[in-house]
A and B are shown apart, each in its own frame.
Chain A
């Protein structure tokens, strides 16, 4: 039988990199039996012997609380021949808890002191020789992702396999605890089935610390029940004697031991407050922090909307011009020009999907700025500010996690409510999450704000995001004080990541993944919705034939007209506007694709077929250079320095028709009507998938309450904006 090696350690210490380095190509990936957690196994050569090696999930200690820790505990109870414990040298003290507990369990251990390069760069000096002597084991410096230290580590593992196993580490837990430990250890030793699992003293320590996983293992063994009774007795007696939970009493002593070890190895005796603590005090302050949060959000949306606008225009021209011409030319070559297929491709797919894809630059801008904030650690501080705002109005503190996710997408945010403790908290948060403005709404805001509020696009979008938060807070306060009163809050600590300079690779990976998700959405859901809308627009209900009818007389026009009276008081009672809102029930990007389908009009045939392929490519290239130049000039505008004074003042045909439509529907208050429309888009049901998520999590009744509630609030919100705005003489 091959010797067995387990790789253990805290999460994010480079365990998996080390596993990959040690096993090279000899590895398999599967699942732990009955779990969705990945199991990595492989082989390595150490001391001339082939060994089986398993990468156990990252853990903080051996008390099995989480699923990962239970798996790790089960692995270690199988008594591997050697445990390679991976230590993050930049956070030695945290890693020492696992090392100490493994040493107490009497397992043969080799320590891989990983991230030694990062520690060196940060000026963290660890005396590895001293650490090795204190731990009575080999400590090998490694840089796992570069394979540095690999051979020395394998030599150390080979030596450990050849040597007899070391005695378990013994920590002095003080006279009272030691007295009870001795009695319980003796009781365990007298039951061979139990004592064969692991060193009796370690079993006693774990049972006194209420290790439920270990209790489950011991209970069915012959004599196991008696051992458990003895352990319970010992635990109660310790607590009665020292007036402290037994597990906590053991933790105190082990903490002292670890701290001493850490300080001996690093020569470090703690530090006073550092700059990041002072910055955190401002960023997480209930008032100052909220001000910073608002300023940052304003800047993010300003950059997103203003700086990326030239690229949006460029992509719009490319799709409406060369791409459409190529599509028409391709269809002509296949004999499909002039048929309904041309209508489907140009009016359905290109107008619908293309109309959404032009917003890619805007979303890249949003994803880029948010990724920089996330990777720098700021978003964690923003989450704290959000938590405080939520809690102040009776919404559970931990609701900040789903709320923040809601800025990206409502669907995972609704599922994220599972992180909350009670059904009341989950339900309340699930009802509020849809009011967070998801990224799918951004194209609608950009389209309308750039038409009606040119020059203030970013600020208008910022106010919409803010309104979403305000509405969520108000609805939360109302529900929290009426239907869903708050129980006693569960205390917790919020651990924040350290500030750091954003890593270009991480930021790019985030931007790429999110942008691709948007493109995939355009290629699937929005494509289908565009085809359905085109089909409904092609079906005549008052004369004409399929694909050759006035859109107002189409099935889509008829359905939309039937509901347009409901939105007349909101300033947008034309059937095109209500039709766009209806299709937006599928997904918010579909509002934009539908508007492009309804308000767009194809270029004349001679113009559509007028350019050559090379001319088109030249046009795309030159307009891209122009867009880049315009973007460079727009950057100073974010901070109020407007060097981009040359505005051509032209707008596309779609934009002109949208403007005319809102002006006529609102009796000359187009800007107010557009603002009311955006408020409606912000507040009504985000998408059909979100409705499904609400039903999954809270049942059909609450789903219906949520959808109906959002529609009512959206209607009232839009009504207030339009009518009050009119009364006040705005717009």
Chain B
């Protein structure tokens, strides 16, 4: 099981998946998928795409009447804790295994 196969699976999925679902599809444990996702993130191939925190700009709308506590202390912008990891750039499908083995 390689990072390339995992990236292909993510790129080819019709819908967003959880690590457990990816593990099911690829026949590996969720723990392994987590480790591979961490590796892809560490190498800039997946990026956590939360697009910035919303609360820092609420103040302009007067939502908290000038007492905006900032992005990390906003009492109302509760974060469900899901981290969406998105592919960086367009993904090409990886080469067949035979070709890949040349560099391994």
**Are both chains from one complex?**
yes
Using a CB–CB cutoff of 8 Å, the interface residues on chain A facing chain B are 36, 60-61, 63-66, 93-94, 97-98, 101, 174-177, 209-211, 241-245, 247-252, 254-255, 258-259, 270-274, 277, 280-281, 284, 370, 374, 377, 379-380, 382-384, 387-388, 391, 397-398, 400-402, 404-405, 407-409, 411-416, 418-421, 439, 489-497, 510, 513-514, 516-517, 520-521, 524-525, 688-690, 692-693, 696
Choose from A63, A398, A416, A497 the contact partner of B44 (Cβ within 8 Å): A63
Query: Is there an interface contact between B65 and A525, defined as CB atoms closer than 8 Å?
Result: yes
Given A93-B38, A251-B42, 12 other A-B residues pairs in contact with their CB atoms under 8 A: A64-B44, A242-B95, A248-B3, A281-B20, A383-B81, A384-B82, A388-B15, A412-B54, A419-B54, A492-B10, A495-B18, A495-B84
Contacts of A244 in B (CB 8 A): 4, 94-95, 100, 103
Given contacts A244-B100, A251-B40, A525-B65, contact A693 B58 (CB under 8 A): yes
Query: Is there an interface contact between B80 and A383, defined as CB atoms closer than 8 Å?
Result: yes
Query: Is there an interface contact between A280 and B20, defined as CB atoms closer than 8 Å?
Result: yes
Contacts of A98 in B (CB 8 A): 42
**Chain A, residue nearest B94 (CB):** A244
Query: Is there an interface contact between B54 and A520, defined as CB atoms closer than 8 Å?
Result: no
Minimum Cβ distance to chain B for residue A272 (Å): 6
Query: Is there an interface contact between B16 and A494, defined as CB atoms closer than 8 Å?
Result: yes
CB 8 Å contact bits of B39-55 with A (1 = contact, 0 = none): 11111111111111011
Query: Is there an interface contact between A251 and B78, defined as CB atoms closer than 8 Å?
Result: no
Query: Is there an interface contact between B82 and A252, defined as CB atoms closer than 8 Å?
Result: no
Query: Is there an interface contact between B78 and A370, defined as CB atoms closer than 8 Å?
Result: yes
Query: Is there an interface contact between B77 and A412, defined as CB atoms closer than 8 Å?
Result: yes
Query: Is there an interface contact between A94 and B38, defined as CB atoms closer than 8 Å?
Result: yes
Contacts of B50 in A (CB 8 A): 401, 419
CB 8 Å contact bits of B7-19 with A (1 = contact, 0 = none): 1001111111111
Contacts of B58 in A (CB 8 A): 411-412, 415, 689, 693
Query: Is there an interface contact between A493 and B46, defined as CB atoms closer than 8 Å?
Result: yes
Per the bound structure, the CA–CA distance linking A244 and B98 in Å amounts to 12
Contacts of A242 in B (CB 8 A): 95, 99-100, 102-103
Interface of A is mostly: helix
Query: Is there an interface contact between A696 and B61, defined as CB atoms closer than 8 Å?
Result: yes
Query: Is there an interface contact between A248 and B54, defined as CB atoms closer than 8 Å?
Result: no
Contacts of B47 in A (CB 8 A): 65-66
Per the bound structure, the CA–CA distance linking A510 and B48 in Å amounts to 24
Minimum Cβ distance to chain B for residue A523 (Å): 10
Number of B residues, CB within 8 Å of A: 80
Query: Is there an interface contact between B81 and A379, defined as CB atoms closer than 8 Å?
Result: yes
Per the bound structure, the CA–CA distance linking A524 and B63 in Å amounts to 11
**Chain B, residue nearest A95 (CB):** B38
**Chain B, residue nearest A62 (CB):** B42
Per the bound structure, the CA–CA distance linking A64 and B38 in Å amounts to 15
Given contacts A176-B102, A689-B62, contact A97 B10 (CB under 8 A): no
Query: Is there an interface contact between A419 and B99, defined as CB atoms closer than 8 Å?
Result: no
Query: Is there an interface contact between B95 and A243, defined as CB atoms closer than 8 Å?
Result: yes
Query: Is there an interface contact between A491 and B18, defined as CB atoms closer than 8 Å?
Result: no
Given contacts A94-B38, A251-B39, A254-B39, contact A491 B74 (CB under 8 A): no
Given contacts A243-B96, A496-B18, contact A250 B43 (CB under 8 A): yes
Query: Is there an interface contact between B20 and A277, defined as CB atoms closer than 8 Å?
Result: yes
Query: Is there an interface contact between A416 and B10, defined as CB atoms closer than 8 Å?
Result: no
Per the bound structure, the CA–CA distance linking A384 and B69 in Å amounts to 28
Query: Is there an interface contact between B103 and A496, defined as CB atoms closer than 8 Å?
Result: no
Given contacts A248-B3, A280-B20, A492-B85, contact A513 B54 (CB under 8 A): no
Query: Is there an interface contact between B43 and A209, defined as CB atoms closer than 8 Å?
Result: yes
Contacts of A93 in B (CB 8 A): 35, 38
Say yes or no for B88: interface residue by CB 8 A criterion.
yes
Choose from A64, A494, A510 the contact partner of B18 (Cβ within 8 Å): A494
Per the bound structure, the CA–CA distance linking A520 and B7 in Å amounts to 47
Contacts of B10 in A (CB 8 A): 491-493
Given contacts A242-B95, A255-B36, A415-B55, contact A494 B73 (CB under 8 A): no
Contacts of B52 in A (CB 8 A): 418-419
Query: Is there an interface contact between A255 and B78, defined as CB atoms closer than 8 Å?
Result: no
13 of the cross-chain contacts (CB-CB < 8 Å) are: A60-B41, A209-B43, A248-B4, A251-B43, A380-B82, A383-B80, A408-B78, A412-B74, A491-B10, A494-B82, A495-B84, A514-B76, A693-B61
Contacts of B99 in A (CB 8 A): 242-243
Query: Is there an interface contact between A259 and B35, defined as CB atoms closer than 8 Å?
Result: yes
Contacts of B87 in A (CB 8 A): 490-492
Minimum Cβ distance to chain B for residue A267 (Å): 15
Minimum Cβ distance to chain B for residue A100 (Å): 9
Query: Is there an interface contact between A520 and B67, defined as CB atoms closer than 8 Å?
Result: yes
**Chain B, residue nearest A63 (CB):** B44
Contacts of B29 in A (CB 8 A): 270-273
Per the bound structure, the CA–CA distance linking A259 and B82 in Å amounts to 25
Per the bound structure, the CA–CA distance linking A695 and B40 in Å amounts to 38
Per the bound structure, the CA–CA distance linking A60 and B74 in Å amounts to 26
Residue with the greatest number of chain A CB neighbours at <10 A, chosen from B41, B47, B88, B92: B41
**Chain B, residue nearest A245 (CB):** B92
Contacts of B4 in A (CB 8 A): 244, 248, 252
Per the bound structure, the CA–CA distance linking A211 and B42 in Å amounts to 12
Per the bound structure, the CA–CA distance linking A61 and B60 in Å amounts to 34
Contacts of A690 in B (CB 8 A): 61
Residue with the greatest number of chain A CB neighbours at <10 A, chosen from B20, B29, B32, B52: B20
Per the bound structure, the CA–CA distance linking A228 and B4 in Å amounts to 26
Given contacts A93-B35, A273-B30, A494-B16, contact A405 B65 (CB under 8 A): no
Contacts of A416 in B (CB 8 A): 54, 77
Contacts of A382 in B (CB 8 A): 80
Contacts of A175 in B (CB 8 A): 103
Query: Is there an interface contact between A419 and B49, defined as CB atoms closer than 8 Å?
Result: yes
Per the bound structure, the CA–CA distance linking A516 and B14 in Å amounts to 43
Contacts of A388 in B (CB 8 A): 15
Minimum Cβ distance to chain A for residue B100 (Å): 6
